[in-house]
Structure 1
Amino acid sequence: MLAIGELADATVGEAIGKRVNPTITLSPTAAGYGWFIDLTPSDNTEFLPTSNPLEWIARPGSEAEGRMDLLTVLLHEYGHVAGLGHTVDSHDLMASTLLPGIRRLPSSVELTALRGLTFSADAAPVPYDPNTPPGAPLPLSRSLGSLRAGRLRPSDTTALKTGNSSATIQFDTVANPALANPAFTGGVGWSVTGDVYFDQGTATLRESAATQTRLNQAFVVGANDLMLSFTLSDIALDDVNGSPDDAFEVALIDASTGLSLLGGIGLADSDAILNLQADGSEHLAGGVAMRRNADGSRSVRVDLSAVAAGTVANLSFDLIGFGRGAAATSSQITISQLQLAGLLREARDDEATTAEDTPVILAVMGNDLGADHTGVWPLLVDLPTHGDVTPNADGSFTYYPLPDWHGDDRFTYRLSNDGSDSNVAVVTLSVTPVNDAPTIVERRVTLDEDSLITLDLRFSASDVDGDALSFTVGDPQHGTLVRNADGTLIYRPDADFHGDDRFVWTVSDGQLNAASVLSITINAVNDVPVANDDAATLPEDGRIALDLLGNDYDIDGDTLDLIVDTSPAHGTLTRAADQRLIYAPHANWSGEDSFTYVLDDGQGRSAVATVRLIVTPLADAPTLTIIDGAGTTRNLFRTGWESVENADDRSTVIRQGQLESWQIVSQSDAGATNVGGFEVWSTGDRLLDRANRFQTLTAATGGGENWLELNFSAGDSLHPTQAIERRVETLAGATYTLSLAVAGEPDYNADYAPVAISVDGQQIGSAGRNSSSQGLAWQTSSFQFIGGGGTQTIRIAAEAARYHTRGLGVMIDEI
């Protein structure tokens, strides 16, 4: 008989009896999921096939999605009526669990058993077509089966399997595809027995006088469901004299077998994974950990890593009460923070000690639970008060205490993975004191020449630790220091000195020292020149050049201007270009004459100086003039290419027509195919040699850092410069010498690196120098020519007998 009726908990169907007068009762709402009634059950159009040919999954958006498949339920219960029991494989038709949106069809064994029920006394047998494809539904008779949700203990299963087989009730589990509503919102998805109160993410189980209190849910363990965690709080379990104590249990049952997924806890007749007694004792299965928190709550972590994905688990929270009277309703417990996650994360407190001003690396995850899983990372929550903390790439933190601070500090962090966070852990830090050296603020003082200044160095030094300080001072170079009784210093510069002076001073806290230089600037104050009297003797009708400044001076070294104050009475004064005065007495006069002068330094004048002149009488005589002459040698120019800044480790190309007075020779003059710029190399630059190896180049000894390369290629070089030239003014008949340093590129012979030197188009010489593979081999050559007078042109050109497409050439320097 098939009936529709209300069933307890999440039961979707119930079958009583086998073969003879069986009764199947179906839930009108399919345990709240709703029924999918397939009007065309033979084609499975609302389902998609899976890797199991007997198991199908509802098409997204179809009417079968999210609903219980009536065909599967009827076939399942039909199997029970035929005498089939539950199978361990959760994907079989006779598995004890069923998910919404799943269709299961009979296997060949199940099909054989079902064939015996497809006909009755009043119905002819339905022949079985061996060509029927796997998964095709069977016709149904009046024999059916059952499905139900609930926590099944081994004792329950045994009881059901004994006794009158015609009255056996089969219990199957309707499971959620995943743990539903872990926040307990409105209790949706959970089966409740007794007094359970849901409020703001918690579920409170209260003892009931009428029945045991239970909260349970069956769900499919997913591939990433590795840890189950929850918090127990407001724990009140009665311990009544003369009767068993109340207890709280958590069970995790394999819905297919009715056995605990984690094994026992050592108590008889219990399939729980956790048991709390009224006396405070705890009993935990392997893989279950419990931690007591400061607020009295308990954090529970359940390791599910050994539970196979796809297992249908029945999670049950049971408050077991034995009290009577007032004690029958006094026990309770609250469950919160229920979470099923890929991994368990528990951040644990850490402590560290470091010295003042010393950073410390903190591997905070080393003692954290679940921190070794991929993707777990620590996140800062509260920053330290007396320092800074930065995360490192390896998951550690580096703590930097504030400068010169010591004491206790703290910061907090949590572990995170894909937005799922752990608890908050505290890192406590102890920063021990370390003596700090005194510090000095550098000072510079200024005073005028020939003055003094009082210095108080105590205000320029400090000690962060508050230690008493002592001072020592060195001697200045251009002055003196005098220490006063009050600890101050008087600095006096040397007489007439101006410029910069300095002295070193040191401060000590008894353990560490600090030194500094006190810089002193003495401003110049003008000192007037000093003009001294002079005397000279000359003959009558003679002349004398007077170098009056020879015994005069200006302490400041200023340029002096000689000013005649009073002129001589018996002669004349003329001024030479070097400020000498030429005195000529009047014709045929002799005797004593004089004049006065002063010196002016632009800011002041000296006192008046007197020059006495004694003119001795002589007879007139003829005069003789002698003129000397001498030849000199001088440099007209010198070129080292040092004006070019080296930008990198390759040559530097200056794309301009002129550099350091040399000009690039034009195309028409040089016959070049591509005129570029000045290619300048520097010591340390790298160049490819003949073997395509980079060679580090060095300038000629004494030749500065830079040099020029003249190059010419058979192809188009990037920056060829075959020749350079410049103009000079020469004296006719003078001998001129041109010298230069020459080197070829590394590992190329002299055919690639000759240069020719010409003046006004006439070659005066050539030079060539091949370099080994070890670097540049510099050689200095000199050439002479006779000046023709006027402007002449000097040209230096590369005249290679062999070319290279890379444009290699000859290096020249120190012209």
Structure 2
Amino acid sequence: YNGSDSYTYTVTSGGVTETATVTVTVNPANDVPVANADVATAVEAGGVNNGTAGTDPTGDVLVNDTDVDVGDTMTVTAVSGVAAGTVGSSTAGNYGTLLLNAGGSYTYTVNNNDATVQALNVGQTLVDTFTYTMQDAAGAPSSTTLTVTIDGANDAPTATGGMVSGTEDTPMVFTWAQFNIADVDTPAANLGVRVTSLPTDGNLEYYNGSAWVAVALNQLIGKADIDAGYLRFVPDANESGVDGYPTAGTGNLHQDYASFTYQANDGAASSPDATMAIDIAPVADMPTLMVTNMPPSSLFNTSWETVPNSNTTSEGSRVDPLEGWTRVDAPDSYTGGTNTMETWHEGDSQQRQDGNMNTVYASPGNGANWLELNNASTNYQTLGISRSVATQAGMVYELSFDYAGRPGFSTAYTRIAIQIDGVTVAQYASTSPMTYLDWQNLKLNFVGDGAVHTISLLTDATSYNANGRGAMIDDITLTGYQGVAAGNAQGGSKTDIALAAYVAAALIDTDTSESLAITFASLPAGAQIVTATQTYTESGGSITIQGDELASAVLSIDGAFTGDLHLGVTATVSESVGGSTAVTAEQPLDFHVTAPVYTIVAADIADASPQTLTGTTNADTLTGGPGDDTINGLAGNDTLDGGAGNDVIIGGQGNDNLTGGAGADTFRWLLGDNGPKGNSRARDTVTDFDPASDVLDLRDLLVGENHTAGIGNLNTFIDITVSGGNTILRISHDGGFSSGTRISGQEDQRITLSGVDLYATYGVSSGNDDALIQALLNNGKLIVD
């Protein structure tokens, strides 16, 4: 307070009273102003990328400040935040800046780029405090604070898109990290993905707890579900798309396979659309491969055993047809005979050419009866027999029968003709000595075409006897084999097999991304496959052709080869991008290559005593009898049949077909029977190996083997596999393999045991050669030094 004031007083003394006035004057002095604390409220920016503006507060800090000195002027003179600031300029706080003017007006600006500010969500706050000093006109100061409370706002999450890679025909499960989602103010566990567009190729699927279902447009899928593996992409079957394909964009065979858009969502706000691109790497699909292997089929087997024996000479049976054969009675160029089925029986008395009588016997092992083809004028005659058979395309048929001329008669009496559909395809004549029937086995081949054909066996004599003298016929069989007759092409120099009749292969994925190739293995040396556009020659025993060449592919081999071919076929698919391949398991393809069509192959038949039959350097056919025979084919591609008895079969050099027949047989190989190493290796086939009784004798073929402990070094000589139910022994006669690992260039002998799986026979795991070799040794089925 300042100014003047007065008061009066009275003094009494002795009865005298005096009154006086006192005036007091308070001279003015400056009072200190009072700065009162200020508060303000700000709101952070929110939404998508702070697109929703917040609130920056303004005000006047001097409005609530006081000064008792009426009319005194107050001025802000200092301000500080995290550090001293300047009045009239921006002063930094912890979470924003304050512009405080001298006149007291202010603006607080929130720093929306500050991570702590961005982390605020609705209901959360931060406090930023500033100190300022004001003074009056006299310079008296006063200080206080301006406290700004920043209220949080929801910031929308962000998503930058993603790129994921999967593989063809395989569901791809998403992970949360692949969506590249961030949110400054929401815990990751509270976030999710909203699918705003769906892929046009493939399917986006969600697991609802019991089944995978299609994702719906705008469906929201939480992070917890994605972390649990409940979101996946399933490409359409056999489709792919990756860099490397020439076409940009998305789709099958494009540089990206598929895409979809999505938004990150925090429960209150969503990000703008982001794109998830999906690459699907191509994977070669296993092709289909069907290889036809028609088993041998016996169409008939005639032995005439149904005819009774009522005397000691021939029987004239009037049964017609007899055992499937119909009698042929015309033409008859020597009239007068009685048409019957004239049969003979073991032990009958038969007249020979000189008029004397022989006691005659059937071919060993063929029962007791046989038929005679002849033309008579006063006695029984059988001019011929015929029957119809249904053939199958892709099969070659072997007609086999035993033959003997009437003892002592010339071939003019004993000649026979073989007709098919009334056309003579072959003639044969031989003689028997005067004292016995000299039985031979005759074989003739023809090719099936799916039609029914009539086979006829006829007397073709040019000389006649009134009582009928001709040729004995017995044990007639017709067997069909998958295969061909040798020399069916290029004037007999080549044998051709149309492969499409036996092999079919196809792509599963037909969108042009894959290519198909077919490999034929275990081909004989020099084999070729000729297609409409190219000729391939085997290398390492195999040829690979393209799938579209199969329809015209013809396997061409040496026309001199006869016997069995055991090929292996695989199909390989290759992707045009990425190099993925798929290879089928090898399937066997077997062919029986017979002698040239309509060519009679004759072989002597041994009698019941032990015989030694020796072939030539040519392709021989040798058949043993019921005795314990030794048959050696020597060189050439031989066909050897031991017949009954305990036989020793030696194929010799060349590619041989070996049949032991009944009994305990030994199949033996000698030093030098092997071929050159590599593709020209010798290939022998044992058609009827019986693990219970038969033996493989390799002791004279192998050089340097020993098995003093276990199998010793035999796994460097012998490799064993099973293909198509056949056991294949690949042999290096001088031990050129590497301890159980076959080296194809070292193989010089291959032995195929048809229809036998030795692994299964001895209970050995497939591929465990050492154990199988040991089992063969233990059981005496493999003989080595």
| TM-score, reference length from structure 1 | 0.24
Greater relative contact order (Cα < 8 A, sep 6+): 2
| TM-score, reference length from structure 2 | 0.24
